[in-house]
Homo-oligomer: A and B are copies of this chain.
Amino acid sequence: MRFGDGVEQAIHSVVMLSALSADAALPAAALAEFHGVSPSYLLKHLQSLVGAGLLVSLSGPAGGYRLARPAEKISVLDIVLAIEGREPAFRCAEIRRRGPDPLPGVPTMPCEINAVMLRAERAWRSELAEVSVAAIAAQVAAHDQDGRVAARRCAFLDRRERRPAARATLMQGEAK
């Protein structure tokens, strides 16, 4: 069992978007460049995050992505389920009901194996549900003692984020 690379890319992207200036947006190409990943592959995952209501996508030349709600209200679990799907990892095929001489209508109680696997899935989800994107950003900041991680990100966002003023100017330019 293994997560696709999309999970790591999506979590890093959402953490990055939590550092945007108010009302700014960041194009998918910039997110892909910053993380050194395939833009087309990342785009697919960003669209899954939009579909799950975690990001909003602003179209147009000054468009891009930004968070759909505060970083405190987006958990790591929200992101993982948006990318990997909401179904549990273990899906019971009820093989206990197969084979020769199956007992009709029996057993009707839940399969104990399925119950154990779902209990573990709940424990796993519960850990991820407790950690917000804001908490991850705070941890990264706490470990960034000389400020170099933040400085690198800020320099990149200064160049690449699209701010409402720029967007408004562009829109006026388009209207002319």
Task: Mark A residues whose CB is within 8 Å of B.
Answer: 1-5, 7-9, 11-12, 15, 33-37, 76, 84-85, 87, 89-93, 95-96, 98-101, 103, 106-107, 109, 112-113, 116-117, 119-121, 123-128, 131, 136, 139-140, 143-144, 146, 148-149, 152, 155-156
Contacts and interface: CB of A to CB of B under 8 A. Distances in A.
A155 B15 CA distance: 58
The DSSP consensus for interface residues of chain A is helix
B136 A96 contact: no
Contact of A35 (B87, B99, B103, B140): B99
The count of identical subunits is 2
Contacts of A103: 148-149, 152
A149 B35 contact: no
Contacts of A120: 124-125, 127-128
Contact of A91 (B2, B87, B116, B126): B2
A131 B118 CA distance: 13
Nearest to A106: B148
A98 B37 contact: yes
Contact of A95 (B8, B119, B127, B131): B8
Chain B CB count within 10 A is highest, among A8, A87, A125, A139, for: A8
Contacts of A11: 113
Contacts of A140: 112
